């Protein structure tokens, strides 16, 4: 049941939303597993759901789908990994995976039985106090532990607590790393964080350093437009090789947030659903899709520049172009003609080998904050191997 406030309400503080804002609040009875639509009589721009005990809340905008993947379906899907056909690494990320520590233990156990290594990325929301037993069990279940550290996280959890957590993991014998984000290569926050982390841990903590960019749901709020891309240049997308499970169980070919949030998912990026497909099916689609092969080998811009009609060359940037490839049947047709067979397979393999040989530092130079790219290979710096 929902109660609607005065429909004429508007809020200065929410000026980014055009027009008046309606608000509705109410209660519903559920069992945390059904997926009924709760109707309030209009399409909300923002929804906050709290459970009866007020212990966990979830917020989502009108363009986002689902709250959390169903745990049983996730475990079942990971159960389809086999020693002969499995991903090398399963990354548990969020949201915040340690809000469901028992599920982390279950998923990590199922993945490791098939020989898949498990990495976990957390914001360390629990780090200010002694680590609760259930979370400790989850931390012991993974092979690699990554901590997100940035100015926004540190407002909630000061650095000294995060460092203590890294020490705890290292003492347990688990490999660790830091995912850091700053405003750009010259950000003094990043320089300070990198320097203090090196002082505290020496070479034992690799760092993946990124710069804030206009991405995902908030991209439209940014005044900076995307750089003007070069349509002739071959610029392969390495991200199209990492299947990602979205909150509603859909499996996508990459982690681009616009793709993860968008429904329907563009056909060429949809690999299946954990409720109906197995890992071997998802892997097979990722490897044999002609469009994905060419996205991995040449990148979406080259694809559009080479096979698209001049009329279709409106500027949408690198990923924006990729997300819209489905609007261009001529490109999809050409991709099928070029890359459906052995030639496409060879092109894909060659592009993967070239990027693999270029190494992780080259990958981070392109996708992360290039000034700090070397830190990603600590303690085994490239050249020292």
The residues binding ligand SF4 (CB under 6 A) are 237, 239-240, 253-254, 256, 259, 295, 300, 318-319, 322-323
CB 320 within 8 A of CB 373: no
Distance in Å, CB of 273 to ligand SF4, minimum: 18
Cβ neighbours, 10 Å, residue 135:
19
Q: Which two tokens stand for residue 100?
A: 């469901």
**Closer CB to ligand SF4, 135 or 319, in the complex:** 319
CB 202 within 8 A of CB 170: no
Distance in Å, CB of 294 to ligand SF4, minimum: 11
Distance in Å, CB of 121 to ligand SF4, minimum: 18
Distance in Å, CB of 125 to ligand SF4, minimum: 28
Distance in Å, CB of 43 to ligand SF4, minimum: 26
What distance in Å separates the CA atoms of residue 241 and residue 252, rounded to the nearest whole number?
Answer: 10
Nearest to 304 by CA among 331, 323, 324, 329: 331
Distance in Å, CB of 279 to ligand SF4, minimum: 19
CB 107 within 8 A of CB 143: no
Distance in Å, CB of 274 to ligand SF4, minimum: 19
**Closer CB to ligand SF4, 181 or 254, in the complex:** 254
Q: Which two tokens stand for residue 54?
A: 């007020």
CB 296 within 8 A of CB 234: no
**Closer CB to ligand SF4, 93 or 174, in the complex:** 93
Nearest to 205 by CA among 239, 165, 156, 161: 165
CA geometry: angle at 138 spanning 134 and 143, to 5°?
Answer: 160
**Closer CB to ligand SF4, 138 or 323, in the complex:** 323
Residue pointed to by tokens 């890294």: 166
Buried b / exposed e over 312-332, threshold 16 CB at 10 Å, is eeeebbbbbbbbbbbebeebb
**Closer CB to ligand SF4, 250 or 256, in the complex:** 256
What distance in Å separates the CA atoms of residue 277 and residue 68, rounded to the nearest whole number?
Answer: 18
CB 45 within 8 A of CB 63: no
CB 121 within 8 A of CB 146: yes
Distance in Å, CB of 267 to ligand SF4, minimum: 13
CB 331 within 8 A of CB 322: no
Distance in Å, CB of 255 to ligand SF4, minimum: 7
Distance in Å, CB of 263 to ligand SF4, minimum: 15
Nearest to 321 by CA among 258, 248, 247: 258
What distance in Å separates the CA atoms of residue 111 and residue 321, rounded to the nearest whole number?
Answer: 34
Compute CA 206 distance to the chain's CA centroid, rounded to the nearest angstrom. Answer: 20
């Amino acid at each position: 049941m929902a109660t609607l406030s005065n429909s004429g309400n508007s809020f200065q503080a929410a000026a980014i939303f055009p027009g008046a804002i309606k608000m509705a609040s109410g209660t519903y009875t559920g069992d945390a597993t059904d997926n009924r639509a709760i109707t309030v009589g209009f399409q909300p721009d923002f929804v906050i759901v709290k459970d009866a005990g007020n212990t966990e809340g979830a917020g989502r905008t009108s363009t986002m789908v689902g709250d959390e993947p169903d745990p049983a379906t996730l475990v079942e899907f990971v159960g389809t990994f086999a020693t002969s056909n499995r991903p090398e690494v399963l990354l548990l990320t969020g949201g915040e995976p340690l809000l469901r520590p028992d599920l982390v233990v279950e998923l990590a156990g199922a993945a490791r039985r098939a020989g898949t290594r498990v990495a976990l990325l957390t914001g360390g929301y629990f780090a200010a106090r002694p680590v609760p037993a259930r979370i400790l069990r989850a931390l012991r279940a993974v092979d690699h532990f990554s901590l997100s550290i940035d100015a926004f996280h540190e407002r909630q959890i000061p650095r000294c607590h995060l460092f203590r957590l890294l020490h705890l993991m290292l003492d347990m014998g688990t490999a660790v790393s830091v995912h850091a984000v700053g405003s750009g290569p010259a950000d003094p926050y990043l320089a300070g964080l990198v320097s203090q982390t090196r002082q505290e841990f020496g070479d034992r903590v690799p760092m993946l350093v990124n710069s804030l960019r206009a991405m995902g749901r908030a991209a439209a709020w940014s005044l900076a437009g995307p750089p003007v891309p070069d349509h002739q240049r071959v610029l392969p997308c390495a991200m199209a090789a990492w299947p990602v499970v979205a909150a509603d169980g859909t499996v996508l070919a990459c982690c681009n947030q616009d793709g993860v949030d968008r429904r329907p998912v563009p056909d060429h990026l949809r690999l299946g659903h954990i409720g109906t497909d197995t890992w071997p099916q998802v892997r097979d689609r990722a490897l044999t899709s002609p469009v994905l092969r060419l996205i991995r080998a040449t990148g979406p811009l080259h694809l559009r520049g080479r096979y698209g009609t001049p009329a279709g060359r409106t500027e949408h940037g690198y990923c924006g172009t990729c997300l819209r490839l489905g609007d261009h049947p001529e490109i999809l047709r050409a991709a099928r003609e070029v890359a459906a067979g052995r030639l496409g397979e060879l092109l894909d393999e060659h592009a993967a080998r070239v990027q693999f040989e270029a190494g992780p530092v080259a990958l981070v130079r392109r996708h992360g904050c290039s000034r700090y790219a070397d830190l990603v290979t600590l303690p085994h710096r490239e050249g020292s191997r």
